[in-house]
Amino acid sequence: MDDDVKEVLAALRREAFFWRAKQATKDQLLRPLEDATSGTEREAVERAFAASGFRDKVKAFAFLRLRSMRPGTQDSPSVDWARRQWSELLLQRLQKLSQEQRQPFLRRRPKPLTSEDNPGKPREEEVSTRHIVDLNSLYNLITRDLRTRLARDSSNRPGAMPALGSEMSGIHLRSLEELRLRYGELAPGYGHLGVWRPSNSWAEVPELPEARDARAEAAKLEMKRRRLGQKLLVNAYPAELQILARFGVSPSLRREVWGACLGAKHGAALQEAARGICEWEWLTDDVLRLDVAEHCANDVSYFPFDELVEALVLALSRDPQVSKLCESGSPQIPIVVGEAVAQRGPALSEAVVKDTAGEGEQFLPPSGVVPFKGFSNYACPFAFLSDRLETAYPLFRGFYCRHLSRLHSISGQAETLVTLCGLFEQLTAQAAPRAVQHLLALDTSPLRYAFHWIVTGFVGCLPAEQILHLWDRVLGFDSVELVPVLAAAVFALRARLVLAARRQEEVQLLFADVSCVKAIPLLQAFLFGSDLGVDPWDLFREVNGQIPDGRSTVLKEHHVGSVGFWSRSFSASDVVAMRRTPTRRVIDSRQPPEELLSPKSTMEVLTPKATLDPANRRSRLHYTCRIEDGFSPTNFLPSVTTPGTKSRALDDWRVGEGSRIMNYLQPKKYRPMSLYGEAFQGKWNTDWHDVSHISALRQKYPWARESIELKALPHPEGPNAQEIRRNRNFGPSHGADKCVRGMIRCGSLCMIP
């Protein structure tokens, strides 16, 4: 802690305003005061410091500085491997693109763009380019390749696929309970902007009185929040403003509040980037332009801002500070172009994946982040914050570096892509286990549909207003965890429909359009619905303004009541499981009971091994399975045979009951014989005598075989009296030559088994 303080102090000393603040404090102290007598010297200094007017600034600076000094975690080797893999893939694709386009990574613009260069008209020349990489390959890398690798590395659990996140980097994923605590302020008891739409504030329309009250309340709340926000902005202290943002920011204050929270300053970087754009041309520029044209310019709510968004994205890609500023480290291992390229920009396309750039070397592109398809989505909502590039860019850069970069960075840090995906998987498995299993049986997974929600932070999937509300909370809670939580909530919202889907395409269709989702109410319903002891989705409907008729009064008490009023009953997954099936099966739970899993099952332990029955008098259950150990339909890895592992009933519980091969239930055709068994009692002839001469005879005279076979099947001792009676009409004497369905044919006899 002391080290932190020292470091913050050292950073403060480098700032000019610190010395000015010191000077001002000194001046204050020297000024004669009326009540100079009261208090100690330290208090006097404190008072003077407060009066100097610099306190808020110093406080804000220290807060931001402390924030940036959070300790990181160590990467695990397999995540490191994926990180490098990703960068190498990018480099490879870039080189290919460069060859196709006949364009070097960096070149001087043949004709520098000037500001007079027909600003009104759209660009004339048609540039044809393509995306470097799309989200699909990122998805494959994260799920398939990384998992395979991980499974190969750690051979302790050969049967199951490793879960994303926790097992990889050792980072603890929050469970639903912990999320509830962490995001307690999201609970419906608090006043939230973005829950009631404030546009319906006054209404003479005949409507239910409670709805009218709530509406009027929402308008009042909005006013109250705006006033509060304005008060807080006077001496902007980021910590306070972040708490404000947890409950939603009034739209007119959003720009200032975000700016203060992010500590965004107008920098010279933008100027430099603008100059760079006019003179130099990176290979990625056209790719970014294409991306903007495809995503921003095609979106119903963002298309007027395509030029602004283009400028934002290009400026970000030119900003050399981005990779340093990103809080979870650079989103990828940057690609460094050699000195020669940076100097002259020749037709060389030499580059290496390297972590640091040396003297005269540069990242490609300077920000170190190679854009994937859909990258420009990040910039779109910022067009709603400001029309001007100068004000929008610091916000964009700040927000990108703090939060958005985490959404696509592969690293072992907390709250990066891998852990976010892991969190999503864990939450969906907890909240909608049956739907997850159903998808697995369809050979897909929930993450496949939610992946682009997570990576783009829902931009392009939700309307702009909802995104801003969501990002308010992301900023306020200082965590992007809410993005996968919302994704899981959307999945859970549609879980019932998922269960009805029969093909992958149908599932795809289900999740293709989620634009009707209201982000904050859904989050509340997901996180706190079960805490209220009501059906979470009823709550969601209620919050959305659709009041179920009979229950509205009951709900209202919960709704406006204080936090302490709630009674804890069941978790979300409990509610779901209880509703779907009357009796809860083991297979419905997130984690099957320990004793049903190999290799150390209780059953094994309880089974007497050797000592109790030295003469082997009692037959013991043997669960030798006939299929190779470690086999499971989801596991395509070469199996690692470990002696002593036996597959158990619930080893493959993830796959779902339907697709499990029930090898543990199927009896064997052969049995160990014991003298105390039925053979001892002389049931079968062959138990007593050597009958090999009889079989030799049968071999010799095949015509005699029929009756023997008849006798032998299905019971060697021949049909018993009941069977004979049952089958009396089906003997060959009645002409029953054909085998009727449902019967067994034994030689010339048709039998009802």
Site residues (CB under 8 A) for other proteins, limited to 363-392: 383-387
Q: How far is the CB of 230 from other proteins (least distance, A)?
A: 12
Rounded-to-integer distance, Cα 205 and Cα 553, Å: 21
Q: Which stretch, 198-206, 345-353, 528-536, 615-623, contacts other proteins (CB under 8 A)?
A: 198-206
Q: Is there a contact between 330 and 366 (Cβ–Cβ < 8 Å)?
A: no
Q: Which stretch, 73-81, 269-277, 295-303, 581-589, contacts other proteins (CB under 8 A)?
A: 295-303
Q: Residue 47 belongs to what H/E stretch?
A: helix 41-52
Rounded-to-integer distance, Cα 641 and Cα 44, Å: 75
Rounded-to-integer distance, Cα 343 and Cα 345, Å: 6
**Count of other CB atoms within 10 angstroms of residue 91:** 19
Nearest to 323 by CA among 336, 306, 307, 310: 336
Among 208, 340, 673, 739, binds other proteins (CB under 8 A): 208
Site residues (CB under 8 A) for other proteins, limited to 473-512: none
Site residues (CB under 8 A) for other proteins, limited to 606-645: none
Among 28, 87, 129, 301, binds other proteins (CB under 8 A): 301
Among 88, 465, 595, 604, binds other proteins (CB under 8 A): 465
Q: Is there a contact between 327 and 68 (Cβ–Cβ < 8 Å)?
A: yes
Among 161, 163, 219, 691, binds other proteins (CB under 8 A): 219
Q: How far is the CB of 307 from other proteins (least distance, A)?
A: 6
According to DSSP, residue 280 is labeled E
From residue 38, alpha-carbon distances to 31, 32, 44, 49, 53 in Å are: 15, 13, 8, 16, 21
Among 298, 569, 663, 748, binds other proteins (CB under 8 A): 298
Query: Residue 464 interacts with other proteins (CB under 8 A)?
Result: yes
Positive or negative CA dihedral for 106, 108, 111, 112? positive
Query: Residue 205 interacts with other proteins (CB under 8 A)?
Result: yes
Q: How far is the CB of 205 from other proteins (least distance, A)?
A: 5
Helices (H) and strands (E) in the chain, counts: 33, 7
Q: Is there a contact between 54 and 20 (Cβ–Cβ < 8 Å)?
A: yes
Q: Which two tokens stand for residue 313?
A: 């994205």
Query: Residue 196 interacts with other proteins (CB under 8 A)?
Result: no
Place of tokens 């609970």: 187
Q: How far is the CB of 421 from other proteins (least distance, A)?
A: 31
Query: Residue 672 interacts with other proteins (CB under 8 A)?
Result: no
**Type of residue numbered 200:** N
From residue 115, alpha-carbon distances to 53, 120, 273, 481 in Å are: 42, 11, 15, 42
Of 545 and 731, the one with the shorter C-beta distance to other proteins is 545
Among 281, 285, 291, 299, binds other proteins (CB under 8 A): 299
Binding mask 248-287 for other proteins (x = CB under 8 A): ---xx-xx--------------------------------
Of 221 and 418, the one with the shorter C-beta distance to other proteins is 221
**Omega into 365 within 30° of 0, i.e. cis?**
yes
Number of residues that bind other proteins (CB under 8 A): 43
Rounded-to-integer distance, Cα 45 and Cα 295, Å: 56
Among 145, 307, 595, 723, binds other proteins (CB under 8 A): 307
Of 249 and 336, the one with the shorter C-beta distance to other proteins is 249
Q: Which two tokens stand for residue 727?
A: 């089958």
Of 92 and 298, the one with the shorter C-beta distance to other proteins is 298
Among 184, 267, 338, 545, binds other proteins (CB under 8 A): 545
Binding mask 111-150 for other proteins (x = CB under 8 A): --------xxxx----------------------------
- What is the 3-state secondary structure of 296-314? CCCCCCCHHHHHHHHHHHH
Of 296 and 427, the one with the shorter C-beta distance to other proteins is 296
Rounded-to-integer distance, Cα 316 and Cα 404, Å: 13
Of 305 and 526, the one with the shorter C-beta distance to other proteins is 305
Binding mask 326-365 for other proteins (x = CB under 8 A): ----------------------------------------
- What is the 3-state secondary structure of 638-657? CCCCCCCCCCCCCCCHHHCC
Rounded-to-integer distance, Cα 309 and Cα 305, Å: 6
Of 301 and 727, the one with the shorter C-beta distance to other proteins is 301
Query: Residue 315 interacts with other proteins (CB under 8 A)?
Result: no
Please give the residue ranges that form the binding site for other proteins (CB under 8 A): 119-122, 197, 199-208, 211, 219, 222-223, 251-252, 254-255, 297-301, 303-308, 383-387, 464-465, 545-546
